[in-house]
């Protein structure tokens, strides 16, 4: 009888452990669901009537007869009627205007509310409804707005600020809205951005995957088609911009091509060494595929062999260029700077020696964009040669560091609100093809020569952003980049990885505010993968900071080694102090530096759902502190352990805030407690954590 009762109790305990595991797994397999859980308030805020200063305007009602003068509210919230306003939206909008007196237009992020085929918006609260596909919009981006109406389905205005703007009065409300916003943000007027999801657009489909696939590849947005060309041409005329709109026939997207004043010289600077065949192909392609002819080329060679040098000297008779032969250690930044010093052009194009021009208007489109007063660096879309695979469509500053989004994806389709189709303002573009006014280049002091190999272009673009300029990705300009598809990964070469990490440290020491931050993507979507996807929250982002100082508890001393069960398998991937970023805060609390411990661990041959893991920190005197872990979904680990049970949450992430633990060296252990028995397992992680004196 006692055995039967014991078995029933163990089963109940197991079911409790398994339910907790399944719930954690559900959130960990959907990063956006986890983001919602951790970052959004669920309390209702009341109806529109609770905010007498705010009125809701449905965009679909903004056709020919609409007038701002007919509205009786000072703050007007424009939304689509094909969706719902998020809880807290009214409060957030009013708070933004109250705290930003100089801003008269603001937009917010949004997502999709998935409905089953037989659902209607009226019963969208049932269990089948599911929030998916967040659209995290960039900070104010004037060139992106001129491409398409990236404000989407929600924006708000101060009515009194725009009563003098003439309403376009078309039957199509979309044209009226787009024309109004272009007018409302001219003359250096900026729109604000609330980085919170304040609108849910309704969407029906066969499945979540089908809806997300359709949204991922769509370019059907307000402002994107040729039907908006008249509105854009009127805007260019108001702004004193000389240019024309040219439609790409295969996509139906119109692109502005800005004319240069006069016919200024463009200097093309090409660093190169011992790459004769590629360099010759690059130079020949420029002469063969460039309609704008007023350019000069400057090749900076840091010490090719005598044979290559003589070959290039002879090649100058076929394709003229200035040849600077300056033997020195490789320093990409210095080579570019030397070339720009020699340049005589009003515009400078930094170009890799393995590039190939393939269409005639590329140089004019890049220079025309760079001629705009608010623009810093301008980049092109780069494809692998003779393919439609993307090598570069702009730099993103991800949680893993600067990288190329969409790399090796097929350019035959669009991705995530046209990131490889439209002209986009971005945090940076690659120096493999970077156009800029020469005076801007010199004002910044050129590329930072302390970054000899990597991230020098990122540093340069960061500095342009800090000056208030916009770096622009022209996705209508395409070149081939003869970087091999099979090129070795620097992350797999120990020496290259060490150099890469050191230069990344230098980059973020110079620009601490950009560590893991990209205002043109947002904090939710800046994961390190090639596709645009939700990132996983770090462990310190999953709790309230008020709990953090209490979670490191004094533990019992380790048991005798002879009695330990060492069945845990553990891999430590990260162990140390986060150097450049302060931990995110909730509730406006003081930010703190922290120490991070990350990796994965499991127990072979058992059901891992039964076990609770903790990290143990042991000082030189044998004293022990217990640190709870945040479990992390590790699909990669589960794939290599197909015969183990419930190992999807093998990942762990834990952290200690600076000042919580006394300075010193701590040996790391991991322990696992069985929730259905008294069994406890231990394993030496074979790593040490060094706690420094608090600065």
Given a contact cutoff of 8 angstroms between Cβ atoms, the answer to whether 79 and 153 are in contact is: yes
Show the tokens assigned to 97: 């205007």
| Backbone φ, ψ for residue 390 (5° rounding) | -80, 130
Under DSSP, is residue 267 helix (H, G, I), strand (E, B) or coil?
Answer: strand
Half-sphere exposure of 124 (CA within 13 A, CB side): 18
Give the DSSP letter string of 170-237: -S-HHHHHHHHHHHHT-TT---EEEEEEEEEEEEE-S-HHHHHHHHHT----TT-BGGGHHHHHHHHH
**Domain spans in the chain, listed from the N-terminal domain onward:** 40-224, 260-514, 539-691
Q: What is the pLDDT of residue 501?
A: 84
Instruction: State the maximum Cα–Cα separation within the chain, in Å, rounded to a whole number.
Output: 100
Q: What is the pLDDT of residue 43?
A: 54
Cα(27)–Cα(36) distance, integer angstroms:
10
Q: Count the neighbouring beta carbons within 10 Å of the beta carbon of residue 655.
A: 22
Residues, the chain: 695
Half-sphere exposure of 137 (CA within 13 A, CB side): 29
The pLDDT confidence band at residue 580, using thresholds 50, 70 and 90, is low
Q: What is the pLDDT of residue 583?
A: 47
Query: Which H or E run contains 508?
Result: helix 494-510
Under DSSP, is residue 535 helix (H, G, I), strand (E, B) or coil?
Answer: coil
The pLDDT confidence band at residue 687, using thresholds 50, 70 and 90, is very high
The pLDDT confidence band at residue 22, using thresholds 50, 70 and 90, is confident
Cα(680)–Cα(674) distance, integer angstroms:
6
The pLDDT confidence band at residue 128, using thresholds 50, 70 and 90, is very low
pLDDT at 584 over 50: no
- The fold adopted by the segment(s) 260-514 is Spore Coat Polysaccharide Biosynthesis Protein SpsA; Chain A (3.90.550)
- 375-428 per-position pLDDT tens digit: 999 999 999 999 999 999 999 999 888 999 999 999 999 999 999 999 999 999
Radius of gyration of the chain (CA): 29
Cα(686)–Cα(283) distance, integer angstroms:
54
- Residue appearing with tokens 């404000």: 151
Stretch among 15-24, 175-184, 423-432, 641-650 having the lowest mean pLDDT: 15-24
Q: What is the pLDDT of residue 585?
A: 45
Q: What is the pLDDT of residue 200?
A: 96
| Cα-to-chain-centroid distance, residue 585 | 20
What mean pLDDT comes out for the span 307-322? 97
pLDDT averaged over every residue in the chain: 90
Q: Count the neighbouring beta carbons within 10 Å of the beta carbon of residue 241.
A: 16
What mean pLDDT comes out for the span 53-64? 95
Cα(543)–Cα(288) distance, integer angstroms:
59
Beta strands in 103-191 (DSSP E): 105-115, 130-135, 154-158
Q: What is the pLDDT of residue 635?
A: 84
- Residue appearing with tokens 């009563």: 163
pLDDT at 661 over 70: yes
Q: What is the pLDDT of residue 483?
A: 83
pLDDT at 125 over 60: no
- 187-246 per-position pLDDT tens digit: 989 999 999 999 999 999 888 899 999 999 999 999 999 999 999 999 999 999 999 999
Burial (Cβ within 10 Å: 0-12, 13-18, ≥19) of residue 440: middle
Cα(325)–Cα(270) distance, integer angstroms:
12
What is the value of pTM for the model shown?
Answer: 0.86
Among the residues of 268-405, which ranges form H helices? 276-288, 306-315, 332-342, 362-370
The pLDDT confidence band at residue 493, using thresholds 50, 70 and 90, is low
Given a contact cutoff of 8 angstroms between Cβ atoms, the answer to whether 85 and 199 are in contact is: yes
Cα(439)–Cα(442) distance, integer angstroms:
5
Closest among 94, 100, 238 to 166, alpha carbons compared: 238
Given a contact cutoff of 8 angstroms between Cβ atoms, the answer to whether 440 and 464 are in contact is: yes
Beta strands in 307-427 (DSSP E): 322-325, 347-351, 355-357, 375-383, 390-392, 395-398, 401-404, 424-426
Show the tokens assigned to 475: 């996705």
Cα(535)–Cα(399) distance, integer angstroms:
8
pLDDT at 644 over 50: yes
The pLDDT confidence band at residue 659, using thresholds 50, 70 and 90, is confident
pLDDT at 129 over 60: no
DSSP class of 346: S
What mean pLDDT comes out for the span 583-598? 64
- 514-532 per-position pLDDT tens digit: 988 999 998 888 888 888 9
Given a contact cutoff of 8 angstroms between Cβ atoms, the answer to whether 314 and 283 are in contact is: no
Give the CA angle between residues 289, 294, 300 to the nearest 5°. Answer: 80
Given a contact cutoff of 8 angstroms between Cβ atoms, the answer to whether 624 and 558 are in contact is: yes
- 461-479 per-position pLDDT tens digit: 999 999 999 999 999 999 9
- The fold adopted by the segment(s) 539-691 is Immunoglobulin-like (2.60.40)
Q: What is the pLDDT of residue 677?
A: 87
| Backbone φ, ψ for residue 411 (5° rounding) | -80, 0
- 591-611 per-position pLDDT tens digit: 567 888 999 999 999 999 999
* Distances 498 to 299, 450, 491, 533 between C-alpha atoms, Å: 30, 16, 9, 28
pLDDT at 127 over 50: no
- 163-177 per-position pLDDT tens digit: 999 999 999 999 999
pLDDT at 139 over 60: yes
């Amino acid at each position: 009888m006692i055995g039967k009762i014991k078995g029933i109790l163990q089963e109940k305990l197991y079911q409790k452990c398994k339910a907790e595991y399944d719930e954690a797994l559900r959130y960990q397999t959907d990063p956006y669901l986890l983001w919602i859980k951790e970052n959004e308030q669920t309390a209702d805020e009341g109806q529109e009537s609770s905010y007498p200063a705010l009125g809701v305007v449905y965009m679909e009602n903004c056709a020919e007869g609409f007038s701002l003068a007919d509205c009786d509210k000072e703050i007007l919230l424009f939304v689509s009627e094909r969706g719902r306003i998020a809880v807290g939206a009214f409060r957030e909008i009013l708070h933004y205007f109250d705290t930003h007196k100089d801003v008269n237009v603001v937009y917010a992020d949004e997502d999709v509310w998935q409905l089953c085929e037989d659902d209607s918006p009226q019963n969208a609260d049932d269990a089948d409804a599911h929030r998916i596909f967040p659209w995290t919009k960039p900070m104010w981006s004037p060139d992106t707005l001129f491409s398409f109406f990236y404000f989407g389905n929600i924006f708000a205005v101060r009515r009194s600020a725009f009563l003098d703007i003439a309403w376009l009065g078309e039957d199509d409300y979309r044209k009226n809205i787009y024309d109004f916003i272009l007018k409302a943000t001219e003359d250096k007027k900026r729109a604000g951005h609330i980085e919170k999801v304040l609108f849910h657009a309704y969407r029906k489909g066969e499945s979540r995957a089908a809806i997300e696939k359709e949204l991922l590849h769509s370019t059907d947005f307000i402002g994107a088609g040729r039907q908006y060309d008249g509105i854009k041409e009127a805007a260019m005329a108001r702004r004193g911009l000389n240019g024309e709109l040219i439609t790409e026939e295969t996509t139906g997207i119109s692109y502005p091509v800005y004319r240069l004043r006069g016919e200024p010289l463009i200097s093309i600077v090409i660093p190169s060494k011992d790459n004769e065949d590629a360099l010759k192909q690059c130079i020949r392609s420029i002469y063969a595929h460039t309609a704008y002819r007023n350019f000069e080329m400057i090749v900076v060679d840091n010490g090719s062999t005598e044979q290559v040098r003589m070959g290039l000297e002879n090649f100058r008779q076929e394709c003229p260029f200035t040849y600077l032969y300056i033997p020195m250690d490789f320093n990409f930044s210095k080579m570019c700077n030397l070339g720009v010093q020699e340049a005589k052009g009003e515009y400078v194009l930094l170009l890799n020696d393995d590039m190939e021009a393939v269409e005639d208007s590329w140089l004019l489109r890049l220079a025309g964009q760079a001629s705009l007063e608010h623009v810093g660096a301008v980049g092109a879309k780069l494809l692998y040669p003779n393919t439609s695979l993307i090598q570069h469509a702009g730099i993103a500053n991800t949680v893993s560091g600067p990288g190329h989004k969409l790399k090796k994806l097929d350019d035959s389709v669009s991705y995530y609100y046209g990131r490889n189709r439209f002209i986009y303002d971005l945090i940076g573009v690659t120096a493999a093809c970077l156009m800029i006014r020469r005076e801007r280049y010199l004002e910044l002091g050129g590329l930072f020569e302390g970054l000899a190999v990597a991230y020098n272009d990122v540093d340069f673009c960061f500095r342009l952003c800090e000056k208030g300029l916009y770096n622009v990705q022209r996705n209508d300009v395409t070149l081939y980049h003869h970087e091999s598809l099979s090129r070795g990964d620097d992350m797999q070469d120990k020496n290259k990885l060490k150099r890469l990490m050191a230069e990344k440290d230098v980059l973020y020491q110079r620009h601490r505010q950009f560590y893991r931050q990209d205002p043109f993507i947002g904090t939710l979507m800046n994961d390190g993968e090639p596709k645009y996807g939700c990132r996983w929250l770090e462990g310190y982002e999953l709790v309230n900071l008020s709990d953090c100082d209490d979670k490191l508890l004094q533990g019992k001393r380790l048991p005798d080694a002879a009695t330990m069960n060492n069945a845990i398998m553990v891999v430590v991937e990260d162990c140390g102090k986060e150097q450049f970023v302060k931990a995110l805060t909730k509730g406006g609390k003081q930010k703190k530096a922290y120490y991070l411990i990350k990796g994965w661990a499991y127990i072979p041959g058992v059901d891992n759902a039964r076990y609770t893991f903790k990290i143990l920190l042991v000082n030189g005197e044998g004293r022990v502190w217990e640190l709870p872990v945040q479990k992390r979904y590790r699909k990669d680990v589960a794939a290599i352990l197909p015969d183990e049970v419930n190992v999807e949450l093998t990942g762990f992430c834990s952290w200690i805030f600076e000042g919580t633990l006394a300075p010193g060296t701590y040996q790391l252990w991991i322990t696992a407690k069985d929730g259905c028995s008294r069994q406890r397992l231990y394993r030496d992680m074979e790593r040490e954590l060094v706690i420094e004196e608090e600065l």
